[in-house]
Each structure stands twice: as C-alpha cells, then as structure tokens.
C-alpha cells in the first residue's frame, strides 16, 4: 500500500509539530511522523529511536501511533514511557539513540499536543520539520519493514545522574510546584535523594491541569507557589511547565525571579569554573544580564530566541551555559547541553545553598530597571517579517544603534527596545527596558512610531513591571 499523508498547515512549527487534538493533530499524523522520521533516521544510518510522552490524556494513543510508524520504518524503539521531556533527551544520549521523539503539548492548553524531536542528539527543527511534511505528502519513505519495541524505565538512572551533580552546602527549605505536569513521578524520586526540606504542590500527573495552567512565565500561575513559600517560610519556590523543560523561581519574599535574573546566579557560579567562557541568552533578556556576565568575567552573547536555536549555538561555541527569558536553561557544564528544568533546579539550589544571604537579597542586589511585559501585536503571517525588516532599515538609515540578531533590538540613552516576529504565531513581539518611567515611556513611543510607520496601530494597555 502506498503511503502518503498531508499535515494541517498550522501544525508544522519552527521547533516542533503541535496542534489541537482531533482537529489539527490526529493519530494519523502521529503515525505519519513515525513513518517519515523513522525513514529519515534510517537514511542517516540509524536504527534506534527513543520515545517518551507527557501526561496529557491524548498522549498514550498518539505515542502508540507514533511507535507503529517508527517500527514500520524498521526502527527499534526504546519506549521510556511517561515523564518529562528532558528525561527523553537524556535517554537519547545514554541509550544511545539515533533519534528521539517526545509526545508533548508543553505548556499549551489540555486539548493540544505535539512532538519534539532530536536526530543524532541534535535538535530537529526549522527546515527539517518542513522537509518531514513535504516527504509525508510525497510518500517519500523507506520500504516497510518491522522493527521492535522495548519498554525501559530510565527514571532511576536519570535521577541518579542528576543527584551526582548536587554540590550544595547548607540544607534548604524548598516548595515545588509541578503544576500536574509530566515531571511529577520523577520529581518525587529526585526529592527523596536531595538534602533539605521539600514540599511538592500538584505532584500528581493530570493532563487536565486542575490547579492552574502549567506555564511558570505567567505570574498568575505562580500565585499558589508564592502563597506556599510564605506559609512554609521557604528559602525558594520552584515551578515547572507541563513537560519540565522550563523552570520558574520565586524568592523567599514571594517575588518572581525572571529567567534572565536567575541566569545571573547560575552564570556567576559556572564562570568560577570556566573563566572567560561564553554565556548565551536570547534577545529578550535584560541588559542587566549581559552586563553582569561581563562583570563576572564571562563573554555575554545575545542570540536568537528559540530553544533549538540556542542549543545549536551552544554546541557550535562550546558554551557551558545558556538561557532564555522563557525559562529554558541549558547546562553544557557537566550535563548534555539540552534544556532541563529538573537539572537546572538541582544546580541552582546548589548555588543558593553555597551563597551567603537569601535569594531575595540576591534579587534586590541587581541593578533596578523597569520593563514592559512581553507585548504582542497581531500581524498577518505574510507581513510580520516584512514589518521587522522595514523598521530595521529605517533605524539604520537614521544612524541608530541596532542589533538584528533576531528581529531588531535598539539601544538608546534611555535603555533598549526589541521587536521581533514570532516563529509560531501571527504576531509581533516587543519588549522595552529603562532605568526610569520617563525613559520607558520614550522607548515605547519610539516603538509605537515605528509600528505606525509600517501601518500598525499598537495597543500598550499592558502595565509596566519592575525587574
């Protein structure tokens, strides 16, 4: 029987394949991903693919269809079962596997799901995902054959390897919010081996996410954790997203630490072992982070937003540490260079327990800046990149200080503002940061003027935030 399959146009994203279950993503899609990705692994000389899944209600059926497609392409599948995305990445390295596929909807609502992939331990993204779609439509697969499936629980090995890098001194009191996400069972095992006092909120894996949405970048989702940190008198609170590749932190005073703030804590520690090393952060990060990395003797590098892009750049430069505002943290120091919220938690707790003073005192010691939250403006898919190019061209013509690493980031005497096109939605994303309210207003006015010059009417109703 000839194989051919067409995916819904919206499901083939920049970094993964994702959609609404039963509408834009189906078990037929899962089978097709297995059949085509398995063929690509075979053509690259591989035979073994690791598969994992998160705790969403649709994940077991999608994983079963995916595995059927992989084995029909001759792949031998190692099924690591339910758990966090980074545990699947870990399996890819330690099995070792030629390819890896995680069934996960990450932090999307419960009716979404998707697939994150690795090929030869490198992110599978961008053009590769588009190629997979084109090959499915053309029926370009290896002849059908039959691979095998082995179920393998690697959670104990994964936990033991993380605990090996625990380097703390004093015992801490920590509250964790699993958000009913896929890390639940592994987190419980991890905390049995970590020193200190630990309390876990929403430990049970539940794909309906009854407590709150599992996205630690949204302050509302951290309210339960903040209350628990206060009630317990804890040193720190830690939250994960739905598949535990992103981390959020709350200090002992109940303040949220943003990704670029806790990355400073991690960078200072890593730079003691690797003086002069390159530390990478995405273009959304505060100037404070880049300045603090330089002060600590590191080489700060501003790079494109997107976990696959950051991982690729880290590998290219041999960078020991990288991070994104969204809470993806990548340790290449002692670890494997992939984004892992559980491992990042082990490392940051080690740093906190060796640092005099509290996490709140660390946060208060950072230079004070004011910034907008992430501002999002609707913009047609076929127009969004053109708008950014127009803005960059006008600013360069005017002699402004512009970085176009990812979108356009403009430095002025007041601070900086950023405009970039989302890789996954029909929106433009912006941020601005200044040391004063008046400066922030001037930056927002400059951004608004540029958007207006390209025919957009921005809405700045979102409030400013201290940071």
- Would you call 11 helix, strand, or coil by DSSP? helix
In the chain the first and final C-alpha atoms are separated, in Å, by: 59
Residue 138: other Cβ atoms inside 10 A: 12
Residue 464, class by beta-carbon neighbours within 10 Å (0-12 exposed, 13-18 middle, 19+ buried)? Answer: middle
Residue found under tokens 């303040």: 255
Separation between Cα atoms, residue 87 and residue 180, nearest integer Å:
17
Residue 101: other Cβ atoms inside 10 A: 32
Is residue 59 part of the annotated active site? The answer reads: no
Catalytic residue among 73, 106, 312, 434: 106
Separation between Cα atoms, residue 134 and residue 4, nearest integer Å:
10
Separation between Cα atoms, residue 342 and residue 200, nearest integer Å:
13
- DSSP code of residue 122: E
- Would you call 330 helix, strand, or coil by DSSP? strand
- Would you call 425 helix, strand, or coil by DSSP? coil
Rounded (10°) CA dihedral 388, 394, 400, 403: 30
Rounded (10°) CA dihedral 18, 155, 120, 248: 50
Task: Point out the residues that are catalytic.
Answer: 106
């Amino acid at each position: 029987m000839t194989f051919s399959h067409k995916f819904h146009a919206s499901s083939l994203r920049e970094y993964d394949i994702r959609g609404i279950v039963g509408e834009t993503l189906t078990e037929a899609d899962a089978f097709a991903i297995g059949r085509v990705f398995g063929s690509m692994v075979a053509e690259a000389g591989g035979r073994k693919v690791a598969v994992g899944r998160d705790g969403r209600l649709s994940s077991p059926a999608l994983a079963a269809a995916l595995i059927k497609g992989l084995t029909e392409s001759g792949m031998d599948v190692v099924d690591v079962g339910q758990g966090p995305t980074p545990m699947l990445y870990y399996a890819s390295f330690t099995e070792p596997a030629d390819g890896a596929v995680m069934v996960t909807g990450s932090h999307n609502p419960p009716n979404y799901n998707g697939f994150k992939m690795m090929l030869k331990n490198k992110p599978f993204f961008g053009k590769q995902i588009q190629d997979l779609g084109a090959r499915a439509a053309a029926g370009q697969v290896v002849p059908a054959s039959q691979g095998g499936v082995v179920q393998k629980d690697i959670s104990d090995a994964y936990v033991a390897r993380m605990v090996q890098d625990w380097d703390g001194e004093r015992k801490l009191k920590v509250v964790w919010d699993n958000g009913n996400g896929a890390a639940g069972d592994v987190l419980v095992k991890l905390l049995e081996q970590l020193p200190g006092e630990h309390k876990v909120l929403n430990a049970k894996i539940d794909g309906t996410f009854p407590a709150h949405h599992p996205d630690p970048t949204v302050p509302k989702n951290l309210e339960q954790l903040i209350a628990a940190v206060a009630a317990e008198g804890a040193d720190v609170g830690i939250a994960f997203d739905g598949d535990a590749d992103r981390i959020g932190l709350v200090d002992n005073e109940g303040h949220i630490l943003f990704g670029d703030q806790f990355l400073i804590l991690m960078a200072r520690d890593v730079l003691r072992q690797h003086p002069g090393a390159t530390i990478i952060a995405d273009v959304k990060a505060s100037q404070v982070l880049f300045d603090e990395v330089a002060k600590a003797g590191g080489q700060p590098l501003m790079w494109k937003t997107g976990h696959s892009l950051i991982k690729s750049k880290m590998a290219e430069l041999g960078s020991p540490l990288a991070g994104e505002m969204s809470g993806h943290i990548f340790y290449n120091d002692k670890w494997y260079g992939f984004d892992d919220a559980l491992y990042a938690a082990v490392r940051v707790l080690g740093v906190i327990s060796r640092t005099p003073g509290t996490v709140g005192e660390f946060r208060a010691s950072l230079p004070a800046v004011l910034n907008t939250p992430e501002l999002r403006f609707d913009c047609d898919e076929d127009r969004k990149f053109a708008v950014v190019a127009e803005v960059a061209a006008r600013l360069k013509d005017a002699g402004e200080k512009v970085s176009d690493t990812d979108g356009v980031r403009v430095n002025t005497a007041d601070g900086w503002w950023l405009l970039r096109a989302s890789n996954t939605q029909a929106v433009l994303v912006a941020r601005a940061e200044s040391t004063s309210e008046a400066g922030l207003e001037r930056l927002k006015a400059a951004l608004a003027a540029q958007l207006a010059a390209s025919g957009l009417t921005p809405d700045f109703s979102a409030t400013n935030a201290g940071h």
